[in-house]
A and B are shown apart, each in its own frame.
Chain A
Amino acid sequence: MGIPKFLNIWGTHQFWVGFFQSLGVGRIVFSSDTSEEQYREYGKGRITMDSCFPVKALAGHMGELLHKDINLLFVPMIYSLPSFLKGHVVDTLSCTRVMMSVENIKAGFLREKNEFEERGIAFVSPFVPFAEPELLPKYLWESLKEHIPGLTLEETAKAVKEGFRALEDFERKMREKSLEIIRWCVKNNRPAILVLARPYHMDPGIGHDIDGEFQQYGFPVLWYNYLPLDDWLLEWLFGEEIRAGIIRSYFDISDVWTSSYSSNTNEIIWGAKFSARFPWITGVIRLSSYECGMDQPTFTPVQKIVESSGTLFFKFGELDETKPAGSVKIRVETIVYYLEKYSQDIIKKKLSRLGAVPSQLLV
Chain B
Amino acid sequence: METKEFHYRAYRPRPFTKEERSKTTILFGGLTWKHERLIQGSLERVGYKSMPLPNIERQDLDIGKEFIDVGACCPTTFTAGNLARTLMTLREREGEEGVKNNYLFVTIGACGPCRFGQYHESYERVLEGLNLTDFRLFLLDLMQMEQSAPGGGLEISMPLTFGLVYSMFYADLITDMEYAIRPYEVVEGSTDRVVKESIELLYEKLKNRPIKGKKIDSLVWHVFTGYFVDALKEVRRLWDEIEVDRLRVKPKVKITGEFWLQTHEGDGNYNIKRWLEKEGAEVIPPPVAVWMDYLINMELFKLEDAKGFVKRYYLKKLAIGTIASLYRMVYNRLRRALNNIPNPLPDQRKLKDLARPYFYYRLTGGEGHMLIGKALYAYLNRQAHMICELSPYGCLPNTMSVGAMAKVLGDYPDLLYAPIEIKGDAEVHAYSRCQMILTEAKRRAKEEFEEVLERTGLTVEDIRNFEEDHPELRRATYKVPHYGYAGTASNYVMHIAKLMGRI
Contacts and interface: CB of A to CB of B under 8 A. Distances in A.
B112 A93 contact: yes
7 smallest beta-carbon distances between A and B, as pairs: A96-B365, A104-B403, A100-B400, A49-B403, A297-B121, A262-B113, A107-B407
B125 A309 contact: no
A277 B11 CA distance: 20
B406 A103 contact: no
B263 interface: no
B229 interface: no
Contacts of A359: none
Contacts of A77: 360, 363
Interface string B334-373: 0000000000000000000000001110111110000000
A79 B362 contact: yes
Contacts of A100: 359, 363, 365, 397, 400-401, 404
Given A96-B114, A107-B404, A256-B8, A293 B306 contact: no
A257 B113 CA distance: 13
A276 interface: yes
Interface residues of A, number: 65
A297 B72 contact: yes
Interface in B117-132: 117-118, 120-122, 125, 128
Contacts of B146: none
A265 B405 CA distance: 29
Given A246-B4, A293-B394, A127 B403 contact: no
A104 B400 contact: yes
A257 B362 CA distance: 26
Interface string A192-231: 0000000000000000000000000000000000000000
B73 interface: yes
Interface of B: 1-4, 6-11, 68-73, 110, 112-114, 117-118, 120-122, 125, 128, 139, 305-306, 309, 358-360, 362-366, 394-397, 399-410
Given A95-B396, A299-B69, A258 B120 contact: yes
Given A107-B407, A112-B410, A291-B394, A257 B366 contact: no
Contact of B8 (A96, A292, A305): A305
B400 A103 contact: yes
11 contacts: A96-B112, A96-B364, A96-B365, A100-B404, A101-B400, A135-B305, A240-B1, A240-B3, A241-B7, A261-B112, A299-B69
A107 B406 contact: yes
Contacts of A246: 4
Contacts of B407: 106-107, 110-111
A229 to B, nearest CB: 20
Contacts of A301: 8, 10, 121
Contacts of A330: none
B413 to A, nearest CB: 11
Contacts of A240: 1, 3
A296 B72 contact: yes
A152 interface: no
Contacts of A97: 396-397, 399-400
A259 interface: yes
B403 A261 contact: no
A308 B359 contact: no
Contacts of A244: 1, 4
B8 A293 contact: no
Nearest to A263: B113
Given A97-B399, A135-B305, A103 B404 contact: yes
A129 B73 CA distance: 26
Interface string A19-55: 0000000000000000000000000000111110001
